[in-house]
């Protein structure tokens, strides 16, 4: 059994909040640069170039890539041989988010009640997804999620008879309805299977997979490639102003489901697909 003081969780998440909101991961940067070179629309190419310049300024001057620094979503994969000391794990996670957003001078966008809507002034609480895994390590992923794209996400409770063609139609419908509102180019996370809530979590987690890594399941990898091609043929383009780059990637995760159901969630993220990972 490994003992781990929760202060390490707090300190790591504090730094991760600041990192994720100021710097894109290498796979996202590479994707942006490649898109700028291949974009067919002159206006689309100009917009992608502006996004590159914005990214450079954010890193050099330590200014957030986007003014919407999002709601903190944390995936905590906890080794079953870890014993936490020094306090509550959930409190430690939220304290890391609080420190990251206050000490990093990031915009606080969270309200304590969805209807009364009083700002918590420190961007907590975070949305936390726990998973118990083998081993004695903790893997933390933080994904600050802006709501311009989050609001464009959809869940479809399809019939089994709808099959893979129904899944394709659902993905294309979600992206078409999102249009310019999701600040394209997008990364499209898709969850298929499970239950109503499980497919949504799968779709959200799919966004944290590197955009240059395809599914390990052969037919799903083929589906990812097919849907990316079809989405980019919609013509929405960078900034929604037309072009051949509507999405950088389509990442699909699947799970077992009930014989009577085919849940599909589409969680869209804008070109600022932010996340940071730490293994403690």
Return the pLDDT at 70.
97
Return the pLDDT at 213.
95
* 3-class DSSP string for 26-74: HHHHHHHHHHHHHCCCHHHHHHHHHHHHHHHHHHHHCCCCCCCCCEEEE
- Rounded Cα distance between 261 and 258, Å, is 5
Task: Tell me whether the omega of the peptide bond preceding residue 185 falls within 30 degrees of 0, making it cis.
Answer: yes
- Per-residue pLDDT 10s for the chain (280 aa) are 999 999 999 999 999 999 999 999 999 999 999 999 999 999 999 999 999 999 999 999 999 999 999 999 999 999 999 999 999 999 999 999 999 999 999 999 999 999 999 999 999 999 999 999 999 999 999 999 999 999 999 999 999 999 999 999 999 999 999 999 999 999 999 999 999 999 999 999 999 999 999 999 999 999 999 999 999 999 999 999 999 999 999 999 999 999 999 999 999 999 999 999 999 9
Return the pLDDT at 35.
95
Residue 64: phi, psi to the nearest 5?
Answer: -55, 145
Helices (H) and strands (E) in the chain, counts: 8, 10
Return the pLDDT at 181.
95
Architecture of domain 2-20+65-145: 2-Layer Sandwich (3.30)
Structural domain boundaries of the chain? 2-20+65-145, 148-272
- Rounded Cα distance between 176 and 207, Å, is 18
Question: In the structure encoding, which two tokens stand for residue 105, read together?
Answer: 């001078």
43 vs 49, 243, 274, CA distance in Å? 10, 8, 25
* 3-class DSSP string for 132-173: EECCCCEEEEEEEECHHHHCCCEEEEECHHHHHHHHHHHHHH
- Rounded Cα distance between 147 and 197, Å, is 19
- Rounded Cα distance between 120 and 125, Å, is 8
Helix (H) or strand (E) holding 18: helix 7-22
Return the pLDDT at 271.
92
187 in Cβ contact with 213 (< 8 Å) = no
Return the pLDDT at 196.
98
Question: In the structure encoding, which two tokens stand for residue 181, read together?
Answer: 């509102």
Other C-beta atoms lying within 10 Å of the C-beta of residue 226 = 14
């Amino acid at each position: 059994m490994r003992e781990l003081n929760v202060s390490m969780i707090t300190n790591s998440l504090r730094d991760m909040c600041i990192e994720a909101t100021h710097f894109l991961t290498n796979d996202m940067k590479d994707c942006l640069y490649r898109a700028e070179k291949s974009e067919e629309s002159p206006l689309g190419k100009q917009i992608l170039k502006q996004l590159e310049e914005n990214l450079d300024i954010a890193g050099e001057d330590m200014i957030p890539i986007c003014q919407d620094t999002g709601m903190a979503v944390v995936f905590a994969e906890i080794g079953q041989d870890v014993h936490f000391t020094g306090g509550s794990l959930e409190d430690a996670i939220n304290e890391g988010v609080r420190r990251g957003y206050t000490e990093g001078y990031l915009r606080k966008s969270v309200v304590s009640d969805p209807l009364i809507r009083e700002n918590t002034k420190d961007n907590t609480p975070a949305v936390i997804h726990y998973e118990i895994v083998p081993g004695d390590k903790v893997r933390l992923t933080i994904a600050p999620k802006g709501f311009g794209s989050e609001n464009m996400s959809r869940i479809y409770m399809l019939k089994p008879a709808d099959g893979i063609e129904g899944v394709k139609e659902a993905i294309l419908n979600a992206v078409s309805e999102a249009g310019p509102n999701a600040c394209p180019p997008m990364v499209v996370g898709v969850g298929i299977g499970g239950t109503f809530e499980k497919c949504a979590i799968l779709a959200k987690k799919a966004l944290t997979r590197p955009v240059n890594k395809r599914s390990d399941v052969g037919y799903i990898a083929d589906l990812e490639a097919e849907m990316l091609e079809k989405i980019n043929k919609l013509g929405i383009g960078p900034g929604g102003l037309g072009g051949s780059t509507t999405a950088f990637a389509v990442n699909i995760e699947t799970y077992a489901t009930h014989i009577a159901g085919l849940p599909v969630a589409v969680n869209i993220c804008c070109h600022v697909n932010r996340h940071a990972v730490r293994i403690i």
